[in-house]
Amino acid sequence: MPTPAPIRISVILPTLEGEADLRRLLPMLARQSLAHETEIIAVDSSSTDASVRLLGEAGASVEVIARSDFGHGRTRNQGAGRARGEFLVFLSQDALPKGEEFLSELIAPFRDPSVLAVCARILPHEEDDPLTARTVLAAPHALAAQAGQTPPPFNDVASAMRASAWRKLPFPDVAFGEDCAWQERAQAQGGRIAFAPAAVALHAHRYGPRLAYARYRVDARFHREQYGRRLRPTLWSALRGLAFEVQADWRFLARRSLRDKLQYGLWSPVLRAGQVLGQYVGSRGPVRPQASGARAASGRAYVQHEPKESGR
């Protein structure tokens, strides 16, 4: 009887009411060329749907926690602490790897021993509406690699990390932005973050104006408190930001059908008003004293950062 291949990759997967997402994600993970060297470690926040059953049927190791115990960094650390792999792959439940070589491409940069972590390329789904797609495509993680290009910020929606690096430097237990905060600490210690554009994950959130306001307010508050950076420091900057976003939407819609131009062209100012107002409100308030030192280490902060949903 052949000896099973040793586990090299541990996929760390926080879940919450993820049945619909897992029905797409788990079969794709099973089709990976490195599936025989991969384990799935899930931490589920007391889902009431079929999430836990689907994970169990897929052979995942599942730990169920109370929803009140969830934390973006804390829960990922909890999963990583049970992992056996040399490489930890962090995925959001609604991130969908594209192709059977996703894991292989994602860990390829680890051939360089100086690389501590790797980011995947994030693209929208084909079925995403044009405003959602444009938001994703405007972010640094959507760009193809070019010579001399600075890697995008570390993003645990779809990324990998050496298990040895995680043991020395686990995610900080912060309310939001645990991936950005981890990268800041890793780079302060000389760690290198790589980008694997051939490893593509499909991921997007469709927001209405109310949810866009809430999400981008949290994002802007994080940048203000963590890095001392106000994304929309004045009302004038917010108005300029709104004009920029709407114009970018209209340029993107120029390649779409007349129906899309009318429907989403009219919707764009409403959606982007919620987004930019959230950034403006989140930028107001005091800057924590320790943020001034973080600012220099975080020139990678960017306005289009898309917040992750709670519990994932």
Based on the domain organization, do 104 and 142 belong to the same domain? yes
**In 3D, which of 295, 61, 81, 285 has the Cα closest to residue 171?**
81
Whether 308 is in a domain gets the answer no
What is the reported pTM? 0.87
Domain shared by 179 and 90, yes or no: yes
Q: What is the pLDDT of residues 207-249, one digit of tens each?
A: 999 999 999 999 999 889 888 889 999 999 999 999 999 999 9
Radius of gyration for the alpha carbons in the chain, expressed in angstroms and rounded: 20
Query: Domain for residue 111, yes or no?
Result: yes
Please check the confidence at residue 281 and state whether its pLDDT lies above 90. yes
- Domain total of the chain: 2
Q: Which residue, of 167, 202, 237, is where some domain finishes?
A: 202
Q: Are residues 40 and 162 in the same domain?
A: yes
Is the residue at 300 inside a domain? no
46: in domain: yes
Share of the chain above pLDDT 90, in %: 76
Same domain, 18 and 112: yes
**pLDDT higher than 80, residue 129:** yes
Question: Which CATH number characterizes residue 77's domain?
Answer: 3.90.550.10
Together in a domain, 39 and 183: yes
* Sequence-ordered list of residues with C-beta below 8 angstroms from that of 267, at least 6 positions apart, any chain: 131
Query: Could you say which of 202, 217, 240 is where a domain stops?
Result: 202
pLDDT digits (tens, 9 = 90+) for 223-233: 898 888 899 99
Asked whether residue 216 is domain-assigned, the answer is: yes
Question: Do 73 and 216 fall into the same domain?
Answer: no
Half-sphere exposure of 155 (CA within 13 A, CB side): 27
Print the domain residue range for 121. 9-202
Give the pLDDT score at 126: 94
Q: Do 70 and 166 have their domain in common? A: yes
The reply to whether 119 falls in a domain is: yes
Question: Are 101 and 243 within one domain?
Answer: no
What is residue 50's three-state secondary structure?
Answer: coil
Q: Are residues 197 and 242 in the same domain?
A: no
Same domain (yes/no): 236, 103: no
pLDDT at residue 260 tops 80: yes
Q: Is 253 domain-assigned?
A: yes
Ranges assigned E (strand) in the chain? 9-15, 38-44, 61-64, 87-91, 96-97, 115-123, 158-162, 192-202
State pLDDT tens for residues 180-198: 889 989 988 888 999 999 9
| CA dist 274 → 6, 211, 271, 279 (Å) | 49, 8, 5, 9
Q: What's the mean pLDDT in 99-125?
A: 96
Contact 42, 55 (CB under 8 A): yes
292 pLDDT tier (thresholds 50, 70, 90): very low
Pair (94, 214) in one structural domain: no
Q: Which residues fall within 8 angstroms of residue 63, CB to CB, at 6 or more apart?
A: 42, 43, 44, 78, 79, 82
Per-residue model confidence as pLDDT tens digits over 130-179:
999 999 999 988 887 654 567 788 999 999 999 999 999 999 998 888 99
Q: Among the three residues 171, 202, 233, which one is the final residue of a domain in this structure? A: 202
Evaluate whether residue 1 is within a structural domain.
no
- Note the pLDDT tens digit of each residue in 10-45: 999 999 999 999 999 999 999 999 999 999 999 999
178 lies in the same domain as 218 = no
Q: How confident is the model at residue 1 (pLDDT cuts 50, 70, 90)?
A: low
